Amino acid sequence: MADLSRFPRLPLIGLPTPIEPLEGLSRHLGSALSGVRLLVKRDDLAGFGGGGNKLRKLEFLLGAARREGADTVITVGALQSNHARLTAAAAARSGFACELVLTRTVKREDADYTGSGNRFLDDLFGARVHVLPGEADALAAAEERATRLREQGRRVYVFPSGGSSAVGCLGYAACADEILRQADAMGLALANIVVPNGSSGTIVLKNSGVAAVVVR
């Protein structure tokens, strides 16, 4: 793996998150996947703010924001975005003001959806939230908001949905290295790494030297 130490990084995760066997699922699928042992990387146990692998990107994104002297971060996502929630939590912990531009991509107006879960936590973590229609260009709106804040003397760092930028994806490069080091320490010979695909940030794992199976 490449040396990532030259990139600024704010520690947010208690590393490494564990790799645990899925014994029950392995037994259940045994007839279809003969001899296959399934394991899971428990990034839900990472750090704070409810956990989740988006913290890996935020370590590098907020590191870059601090290096650039930013005092405010803005990101985008859907109304119940996990990434937005973790950005708000990480920004609060790290001393950044945070603004979230969220779109109503799910056609629900009930309070259980619009005011609970991640949306409740966004407010609890002190983020300023801008809610737009589902068809809106959230990133363009975020850049416009950043321009207005800069005119007021604020120093703003903007990153896209899911934090999936070149800087953010350094978090998954670091994760690939972490997985391989753990596998070596555990005596595991990994054949495949299966990753979900939303904003495509985890695709960097395909360069880890282990075959990556992407679930869309």
| Secondary structure (3-state) at 121 | helix
In whole angstroms, give the CA distance from residue 56 to residue 53. 6
CA angle (70 as vertex; 99, 144 as ends), nearest 5: 50
Question: For residue 13, what are its two tokens?
Answer: 């995760």
CA 34, 17, 207, 167 dihedral sign is: positive
Cβ neighbours of residue 6 closer than 8 Å, sequence gap 6 or more:
none
Single out the catalytic residue among 81, 164, 165, 199: 81
Report whether 38 contacts 190 (CB < 8 A).
no
| Secondary structure (3-state) at 168 | coil
Position 38, amino acid = L
The CA–CA distances, whole Å, from 122 to 98, 100, 205 equal: 10, 8, 29
Active site residue 34: no
Instruction: Read off the DSSP letter of residue 41.
Output: E
Scan for tokens 């972490």, then name that residue. Answer: 178
Active centre residues (catalytic): 81
